[in-house]
Amino acid sequence: MKLLLASTSRLYGQGYLEYLREELKDFFNNGKKIIFVPYARPGGISWDDYTDVARKGFEPLAISVIGIHELQSPKNEISDADGIFIGGGNTFVLLKTLYDTGHFDVIASAVRAGLPYMGSSAGSNVAGLTIGTTNDMPIVYPPSFQAFGFVSFNINPHYLDPQLDSTHMGETREQRILEFHQFNTQPVIGLREGSWLRIEGKKVDLRGSLTARIFQKDQPAIEHPPGELLF
């Protein structure tokens, strides 16, 4: 499989996907058309409006974007694209809609057959084993928390480090992931803003300038520098 899993689609002060443009050009291998999945609906935006956001983000790369909801027959048409992109928003809404539309299996089959897959935030969450390490509120209830399982770990996008001068008494991201590991065994990658994973076959590369925080059950968390990740 060929995957690009980003923590976010936009960095502060930049346009949509701007910080990833060079990576996207290489990842999609100068392709001309991708399918966008707008089901995470950040802020309740409509599928059409969210697809327009993605279109503008890919315009500088001369890549056209069509929403999966705009296809007459996704099962038959998806293989004609040069890739698929699932954007961020609410992970519970995203996964429920993937199941409700029947597009979960359509996408899973296409990606396992070689279609390049890009996710950001919620779209990266659903590439993992489950959505159990999302930061989102469960505002809807998907039939399962099982995700695509394209990788053998979970991701925590937008990973934040504790602010030492903060008086906030709520749990840190690290504490919540440790809670997750009381009941689950898969590794979790805390992916900071501006970082992404590039995966081809079994090789997992951390890209960007920042380290990632790697959590494994019953082991101390570690900081992993950019480069190949080994579990």
Residues marked as catalytic: 121, 136, 158
State the residue for tokens 């597009």: 103
- Pairwise CA distance, residues 128 & 156, whole Å: 10
Q: Are strands 203-207 and 196-200 parallel, antiparallel or unpaired?
A: antiparallel
Tokens of 214: 């790697």
Based on the number of CB atoms within 10 Å of its own CB, is 30 exposed (0-12), middle (13-18) or buried (19 or more)? exposed
Alpha carbon dihedral 213, 214, 215, 218, in 10-degree steps, equals -120
